[in-house]
């Protein structure tokens, strides 16, 4: 690469392997600190997004019907299926390569644009057949609009990957939050004005379009058309494509089956219950994985360091996910009327089941980052593959008999079967004992279970009302009880290193 190209490339994207952190003790500690800072920023982003999302959900649930939500869920399921053509995961391939330079970044951007164009064309062709399949004529127009959104998003600035590759999560935070803010600012006013599903559809279009525009504002890198490194990127990404195919089938098969067999009303109830109940997964694990994968990739050559960071992340996830899940199970009957209104009361039994699913997914989601960091996406393919087959079989069996409740039971059952296998594989890769894993899980599990029992007693015997004040009382009581029990167990265990130690340090600061 010429010196001129290097100057133009700038500091936003690495030009050679020299930019990679070495695995000396000091560098490892630096990577750990950067991962922690990245997790902080990503969790901050999720908290900010949830603040916007919560207001959006409350407003939209009162303005739109479950059928509107179900229709859009049908459309986004079709979009997710066609997006598989552009799901090569080139961003992960760039992070994984220590020698990624302009050739690789430009090639990734070009391939993303080409595959997005193919996906959009396929989506347009599927619009009418999809409306016939679901017996929903309104679906055609929705799918056509989302095809345009998919095409625009395909040309997002690939230079954003450099933020994650360098563990620069502040600018990554600014980009993601800006996109979410614009989507919120469009969707809610449109819902008030239109009072139908088009508010959601136009909001999605605005979010994806603004993301592409914003990507060139926050990142100075300007990609060029190139296929110079196509073979190198596709060598790693072919496994990611297969993984993404199985992932979409795994997580969208419920939408296809419910939409086809039960209809848009039931699908709207299920999708809303899923979103609310999976807070531990969507609001905790997703930002953590975005922050930790680049760090894991840098530590992949040192099993001991990777093992230590893996346990640290698992302990943080468990400390947050256990109480959130336990609290949501106990307070679901209060939560739904306050947030969504009484029209959504049928989601309560679904939330009870799907919260358990969310907890199981949260506890094992960290394993996928380990597989990818170690260059073993084939293991991920195997795990996703058998999960998908099992889920489809369960859905086909249970949904015709039990409706959406059967779908919820199916996903919980499959997640329960997947967890032992997932941990067996990752423990072998990291040379980690089951005892060390249990040592970081048992304290939050016991504290959350005790909190749930006490919270249930409080709700049943103190006549807590299903309003904002009653919900706030339950949440506050649960937080105090869980925190006190967790610290007590930590002290009785000899104050081992973990989230409790970090939390006390933060409070003292």
DSSP 281: I
Helix (H) or strand (E) holding 136: none
Please say whether the beta carbons of 342 and 62 come within 8 A. no
Question: Residue 216 is encoded by which pair of tokens?
Answer: 């060139």
Mapped onto helix, strand or coil, the DSSP state of residue 223 is coil
Please report whether residue 277 resides in a domain.
yes
**For the residues 492-499, what does the mean pLDDT come to?**
83
For residue 17, name the pLDDT band (cuts at 50, 70, 90): very low
Beta strand segments in 237-380, E: none
101: alpha, beta or left, given left = phi > 0 and alpha = psi -120 to 50? beta
Per the document, the length of the chain is 509
Q: Tell me which residue of 46, 73, 87, 64 sits closest to 343, measured CA to CA.
A: 64
For residue 168, the model assigns a pLDDT of 64
| Block residue for tokens 């409740």 | 405
Tokens 């089938």 belong to residue:
249
169 alpha carbon, distance to own chain's centre = 17
Which residues neighbour 153 within 8 Å (Cβ) at sequence distance 6 or greater? 116, 208, 209, 211, 212
- Percent of the chain past pLDDT 70, that is, above it, reads 79
d(CA 322, CA 478): 12
pLDDT of residue 445: 94
Q: How far apart are CA 425 and CA 484, in angstroms?
A: 35
Tokens of 504: 């006390």
Least confident of 286-295, 341-350, 458-467: 286-295
Assigned domain for 1 exists: no
Task: Decide which of 189 and 85 is more confident.
Answer: 189
- The single-letter DSSP state of residue 22 is P
9, 102 contact by CB (below 8 A)? yes
How many structural domains compose the chain? 1
Per-residue confidence at 28, pLDDT binned at 50, 70, 90?
A: very low
User: How confident is the model over 218-244, as pLDDT tens digits?
Assistant: 888 899 998 888 887 776 666 666 666
Rg (CA), the chain: 23
Res. 435: pLDDT tops 60: yes
Residue 22 has pLDDT above 50, yes or no: no
Residue 404 half-sphere exposure toward CB, CA atoms < 13 A: 24
Rounded to an integer, what distance in angstroms lies between the CA atom of residue 220 and that of residue 218? 7
Cα dist from 393 to 208, 249, 258, 410, 418, whole Å: 34, 12, 14, 9, 15
pLDDT for residue 81 is more than 70: yes
For the residues of 80-116, what is the DSSP string, one character each? Answer: HHHGGGG---HHHHHHH-TT--HHHHHHHHHHHHHHH
**What are 400-423's pLDDT values in tens digits?**
989 899 999 999 999 999 899 989
Q: How confident is the model at residue 18 (pLDDT cuts 50, 70, 90)?
A: very low
> Which tokens is 469 given?
């004040």
Residue 194 DSSP SS3? helix
Confidence of residue 169 (pLDDT cuts 50, 70, 90): low
Q: Which residues contact 380 (CB under 8 A, 6 or more apart)?
A: 239, 243, 368, 371, 372
Q: Give strand ranges (E) for 353-398.
A: none
> Has residue 144 got a pLDDT over 90?
yes
> Does 288 reside within a domain?
yes
- Helix, strand, coil in percent for the chain, rounding step 5: 85, 0, 15
Q: What is the mean pLDDT of residues 373-389?
A: 82
Q: What band does 282 get if pLDDT is binned at 50, 70 and 90? A: low
Q: Which residues of 147-159 are buried (b: 16+ CB within 10 A; e: fewer)?
A: bebbbbbbbbbbb
List all residues 6 or more positions away from 59 whose beta carbon is below 8 Å from its beta carbon: 188, 191, 192
Q: pLDDT grade, residue 27 (50/70/90)?
A: very low
Q: How far apart are CA 29 and CA 302, in angstroms?
A: 13
What SS3 state is found at 97?
coil
Q: Which residues contact 493 (CB under 8 A, 6 or more apart)?
A: 443
What does the pLDDT look like over 255-269, one tens digit per residue?
888 888 888 888 888
- Supply the pTM of this predicted model: 0.65
Spatial distance between the Cα atoms of 75 and 492, rounded to a whole number of angstroms = 52
Q: Across residues 35-51, what is the average pLDDT? A: 52
- Asked whether residue 174 is domain-assigned, the answer is yes
**Residues 188-204: tens digit of each pLDDT:** 888 888 888 898 899 88
Q: Domain of 208?
A: 7-508
Residue 2 lies in a domain: no
Q: Is the confidence at residue 275, as pLDDT, over 70?
A: yes
CA atoms within 13 A on the CB side of 67: 7
pLDDT classification of 20: cutoffs 50, 70, 90: very low
66: tokens are: 């479950």
Mean pLDDT value of segment 447-459: 90
């Amino acid at each position: 690469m010429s010196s001129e190209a290097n100057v133009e490339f700038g500091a936003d994207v690495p030009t050679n392997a020299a930019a990679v952190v070495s695995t000396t003790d000091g560098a490892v500690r630096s990577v750990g600190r950067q991962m922690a800072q990245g997790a902080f920023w990503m969790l901050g982003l999720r908290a900010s997004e949830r603040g916007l999302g919560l207001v959006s959900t409350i407003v939209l649930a009162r303005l739109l019907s479950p059928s509107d939500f179900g229709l859009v869920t049908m459309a986004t399921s079709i979009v997710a299926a066609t997006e598989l053509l552009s799901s090569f995961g080139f961003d992960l391939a760039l992070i994984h390569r220590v020698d990624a330079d302009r050739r690789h970044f430009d090639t990734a951007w070009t391939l993303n644009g080409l595959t997005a164009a193919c996906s959009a064309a396929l989506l347009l062709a599927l619009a009418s057949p999809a409306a016939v399949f679901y017996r929903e004529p309104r679906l055609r127009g929705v799918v056509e609009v989302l095809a345009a959104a998919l095409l625009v998003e395909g040309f997002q600035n690939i230079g954003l990957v450099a933020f994650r590759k360098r563990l620069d999560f502040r600018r990554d935070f600014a980009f993601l939050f800006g996109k979410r803010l614009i989507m919120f600012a469009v969707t809610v006013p449109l819902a008030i004005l239109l009072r139908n599903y088009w508010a959601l559809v136009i909001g999605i279009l605005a979010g994806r379009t603004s993301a592409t525009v914003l990507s060139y504002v926050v990142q100075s890198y300007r990609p060029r058309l190139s296929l110079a490194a196509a073979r190198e990127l596709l060598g790693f990404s072919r496994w990611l494509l297969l993984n993404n195919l199985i992932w979409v089938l795994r997580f969208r098969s419920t939408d296809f089956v419910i939409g086809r067999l039960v209809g848009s009303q039931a699908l709207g109830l299920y999708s809303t219950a899923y979103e609310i109940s999976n807070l531990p997964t969507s609001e905790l694990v997703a930002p953590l994985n975005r922050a930790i994968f680049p760090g894991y990739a840098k530590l992949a050559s040192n099993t001991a360091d990777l093992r230590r960071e893996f346990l640290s992340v698992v302990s943080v996830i468990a400390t947050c996910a256990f109480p959130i899940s336990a609290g949501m199970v106990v307070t679901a009957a209060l939560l739904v009327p306050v947030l969504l209104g009484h029209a959504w009361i049928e989601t309560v039994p679904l939330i009870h089941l799907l919260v358990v699913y969310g907890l199981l997914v949260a506890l094992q989601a960290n394993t996928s980052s380990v597989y990818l960091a170690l260059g073993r996406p084939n293991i991920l393919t195997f795990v996703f593959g058998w999960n998908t087959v099992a889920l489809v079989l369960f859905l086909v069996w249970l949904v015709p008999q039990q409706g959406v409740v059967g779908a919820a039971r199916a996903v919980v059952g499959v997640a329960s079967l997947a967890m032992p296998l997932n941990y067996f594989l990752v423990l072998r890769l990291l040379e980690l004992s089951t005892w060390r894993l249990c040592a970081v899980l048992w304290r939050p599990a016991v504290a959350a279970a005790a909190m749930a029992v006490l919270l249930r007693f409080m709700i049943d015997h103190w006549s807590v009302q299903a309003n904002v004040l009653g919900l706030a009382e339950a949440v506050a009581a649960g937080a105090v009880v869980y925190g006190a029990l967790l610290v007590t167990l930590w002290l009785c265990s000899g104050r081992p290193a973990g989230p409790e130690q970090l939390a006390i340090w933060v409070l003292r600061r």
